[in-house]
Amino acid sequence: MYKKIRRAAYHLADGAAWTADFRALRFPEHWRQGLLELHNHGRPEEARHKVIPTRRLDGVLQTLAPDVLIRPRPRPSIGGELLPAEDFWMYVPAEVLDPLPGSSLEKLLDAWLRTLGPKGAAEHDPGFRSQLLRCSAKLKQHLPVWETISGVGLLDTPVTAGGTAAPEPRQFQLATDTLARRILTLAPFPFEGGELRFRALPRGPRDQGAELMSQPVCRTIKRKDWWFSIVLNVSLQTTPLDPRPRLHLHWGVRRWATHPKAESRRLHLPYRESTTVYLQPRIPWLPGAPATERYALARLRRDRASDRFAWVENDPAGILRRLSIAGVFPDPDRLLSEPAAWLGEGQAVQAAVVHSTRMGVHEVGPGLMPHQRSQLTEWAEQALPDGLTRVPDLVRGRGRGIGAPANRRPKPRGDADKKAEESRAAVQRRTALAALSRVTGPDAGQDGPVVEARLLWQTAELRRQAIVAFAQAFGLDGDGGAGARGLTDRTFDEARPGEPAVLEWRTPELTLRVRCLPLINGLGDRLVPDESIEGKGARIAAAIAVRRRELCTWLRQDDCDPSRPGLAMVEIAHRSTFRPPETDPKFAVRLGCADAGLLTQFVVTPSDDWQINNVESLDHRVHNAWLDGLRQLGVRVLPQHTLGGDLPEGLEYAALWMVKRRKDGPTRLSKHLPIAVLVSPSPGSEGLAVVRGWDDDACDWIPYPSFLLHLVQKAEIDPDAYAEPDRLIPEQLDEGGVEASRVTAQERRSNLARQRRETASFLQRMLFSLRGRPTVLITHAQNSRSHWPWLQDGQIVRDLLRTGHAGAGRLDDELRLVRIRGRAGRETAQWWGLAEPGKAHGQPAGFWALPVTDDERCSGQGRIFYSTTERPGTHAISPALDRLATRVNAAGHLTSQAGTGAWNPTLVEIAVLGCHTESGTLEHVRHKLDEPEAIALAMHQLRQAPDYPAPLALPLPLHLASLAQAYVLPMLAEGEAAEEDEHD
């Protein structure tokens, strides 16, 4: 058994320092007025911008001047005066003497200035051309001058009041880029059959960290050549209550689109989305510019006017194409029809199109397994400067083995054990449904509870399999009376609301019924917007409202009642079959079912099309769909902790989740909604959980099914939600594609401030309801900290709590606060289990902690813990999988493991931010003080819910809260990859 795990994370040793010298360039603010006048040429007064859009200029600078780091420049204050400059616009290592020759900068400025006006103005507007020439001449007379700054501390940071490192904003780029440059000086990484040579990728002013990428590597799989590269990301991170920041190394695989579709003879690119292309010239982009070792980034997108793909003009590629020598920039049609040719050695520019799953199958598997990660990391560690050391290895914390809960599902050892376990689980489900009594029939009380579910089907194949899966899920014998009542395929086809085809099973615990209804009259088909309605957004919103109303009326005819929440399994076509995507009816179907009182679980129609057919078989999919539907009804088994008296009796778990409806998200609504779920042990049924959700309108906890249906009221459709996503023209966009307007930025900040106030008010009401009973509030760092700033590393103070503008105060007597953090943003490090010498490093499951002394543990100093879980049976991959090596097999042929997909459990961080470890605070309530490690272990055990076939990415209460967002964001894809599924 692995006793330790190692992380690819590094911090300064005690007493060490790491500094570097730079040359820096301030943004010439004296340019500002002339640039704004040029940018606002021809705009009406109300549409004039107050911010210069420098995103494209910064992007091209990163390509033409590969050694230059670009920082966000200081923004003007409300009155137009500049804020005190605390940073520079550009940085470059001190040893680089001429990073951007004046002649190159002048040509670049000319190309950039042409993009500042309305589209086509430089060619067709004499007034703009005249103003352009005057502005260009003025800029060239006052080019900025490089300054020398010495001894910049790369990891020396101040510390917050809570004892957490608080890096300066520029350190996130300077430290990571400096380490990346050191890695580039290493000899190539050797592997059996070749070596990897890395290059840097351009990083914009908003990009935190550095990125390196190897040359494209080719492997022959199934008689075709497939290409990929190894990618290294270097990021600067902090850990709560830790005064030292750390650098993370994160390895991954980037796969390149290689084979066009046979029908179109070109790559299949998403219709409305841009596709990234990496470019590497063999000659300078611009005569006189320094030779570049960095890749350039460009994007391809379908031009709606010509229905052909073209380079995105408001991208750095647009400027590069105008600057570069004729014939160097790739032709989109040729690149898409012959992608492999641009990956070879014969082109003036090497071009690689990033593969996406929508393009089809790529035979190179994603990700790297732990042993190869460790080899790559050991190679990169040669570049570490003196004083930068690896963080301590983690050791097993409290609990044995994997730290399983007391009611962990046993692993069947044979067919007999498997059948016995399935039977036990089926009885448990029936018992739980009977206890919950969610839906009762007219004969309830005579033969026990009656629970009904609806099957809204479209194909006979799925209907038959869904009925079989329902019987298997509950351990039911027989055909539900189909034979006795003479139910035939015709009976099922002719069923209608009020006259469904009903199957019924009687068990000792309850009576189960399935009401089967064909989804007729186009209720499951694509939405058909009314073209007579003006405006795209209004048309789609109206189509959703019509389908929602039609489906609700149809279901009400089948005795659906919102006061008695029920469950419906709905068959629907795969989202890829709906073109355009806005015609996908899932949104409307879920809303219509919810209006009628039905929770929904979708199952995709069977298909042989590779784009539609799921990896899992149909019987497996419908079986899991029924189980997921039952969980929506509140049928849950609570993992029972093994901490005994170290946790309060009757401990409850509350979970907070922020539902974020982004402008570029499924509903294109930029709003937010805090939600909370409370999971309690059932007093009458051992092992079962009572799940409730917080109704903020009523200020009360209500049953989970009613909570989900209540959330649908928060999913109302704004007619503007489906307006054109690209209605802003390129010259209106600034960094990150946001509108380049000072007013817009102010509105964005004001909107966030308002949302934070609403969240604080929500928290105060919800937390007040928890007083008087022992509760752990579980939160998620990446999900909630922007709206609840107290969860940010820079705000946290141990054992205090702050919800709004008032100062932080101590926790209520029975409340504990835990923050969970996953790998999003590479915030938790890549890791591997340390094996014995000569053996491959692995992926051990368990509960992990930093080594601390008994005195430190008793004093509560250890507050940060980690959780890893077992790999599901579907990911039984050797940890020693080698993505790179090519070997000669017994038959004398070259072979590799490049086609096998990798999978790695996430290292989940558990931070016990608030508990009661000081004597005297709880003597009137409890006799034993909290042990942070016990609370953290309970969080680890909550990830191992017995009624799930595989461990959860999050503790069960947080998982339930995250699932609830499907009723606020109804277009959220069913079965989206969980955070735990880490490939790269």
| pLDDT at residue 623, rounded to an integer | 93
Please indicate whether residue 583 or residue 727 has the higher confidence score (pLDDT). 583
Please indicate whether residue 83 or residue 917 has the higher confidence score (pLDDT). 917
Q: How far apart, in Å, do the first and last CA atoms of the chain sit?
A: 25
| Least trusted range by pLDDT, from 114-118, 152-156, 554-558 | 114-118
Structure tokens at 18: 């790491």
Query: Which residues on adjacent β-strands are paired with residue 274?
Result: none
DSSP character at residue 689: E
Residues 466 and 527 sit within 8 Å (Cβ to Cβ): no
Write the CA distances from 750 to 75, 198, 202, 757, integer angstroms.
17, 43, 32, 11
Which range has highest mean pLDDT (260-264, 461-465, 805-809, 945-949)?
461-465
Percent of the chain with pLDDT over 90: 50
Q: 693-714, pLDDT tens digit by residue?
A: 999 999 999 999 999 999 987 7
Write the CA distances from 668 to 308, 671, 750, 820, integer angstroms.
26, 9, 19, 28
Residue 895's H or E segment, with its range, is strand 894-896
Please indicate whether residue 537 or residue 840 has the higher confidence score (pLDDT). 840
| Least trusted range by pLDDT, from 275-289, 379-393, 448-462 | 275-289
Q: 28-59, pLDDT tens digit by residue?
A: 888 888 888 888 888 888 778 888 888 778 87
Tell whether omega for the bond before 101 is within 30 degrees of 0, i.e. cis. no
| Least trusted range by pLDDT, from 31-40, 291-300, 504-513, 522-531 | 291-300
Rounded distance, CA 268 to CA 262, Å? 10
Query: In what order do the strands lie in the sheet containing 275-281?
Result: 308-311, 296-303, 275-281, 349-353
Q: 261-296, pLDDT tens digit by residue?
A: 888 888 888 766 788 899 887 777 666 666 777 888
Name the pairing type of β-strands 598-604 and 809-810: unpaired
DSSP character at residue 562: T
| pLDDT at residue 743, rounded to an integer | 40
Looking at the predicted structure, is the pLDDT value of residue 220 above 80? yes
| pLDDT at residue 845, rounded to an integer | 94
Q: How confident is the model at residue 121 (pLDDT cuts 50, 70, 90)?
A: low
Looking at the predicted structure, is the pLDDT value of residue 360 above 50? yes
Residues 657 and 962 sit within 8 Å (Cβ to Cβ): yes
Q: 652-682, pLDDT tens digit by residue?
A: 999 999 998 654 444 444 568 999 999 999 8
| pLDDT at residue 973, rounded to an integer | 36
Looking at the predicted structure, is the pLDDT value of residue 910 above 70? yes
Q: Which of 300, 308, 313 is nearest to 273 (CA)?
A: 300
SS3 253: strand
Residues 131 and 37 sit within 8 Å (Cβ to Cβ): yes
Query: Residue 564 burial (CB < 10 Å; 0-12/13-18/19+)?
Result: middle
Q: How confident is the model at residue 975 (pLDDT cuts 50, 70, 90)?
A: very low
| pLDDT at residue 110, rounded to an integer | 84
| pLDDT at residue 679, rounded to an integer | 96
Looking at the predicted structure, is the pLDDT value of residue 326 above 50? no
Q: How confident is the model at residue 972 (pLDDT cuts 50, 70, 90)?
A: very low
Q: How confident is the model at residue 312 (pLDDT cuts 50, 70, 90)?
A: confident
| pLDDT at residue 314, rounded to an integer | 59
CB-based contacts of 288-291 (< 8 A; 24+ apart in sequence): 288/101, 288/103, 288/104, 288/107, 289/64, 289/65, 289/101, 289/104, 290/64, 290/65, 290/66, 290/67, 290/98, 290/99, 290/100, 290/101, 290/104
Mean pLDDT taken over the chain: 84
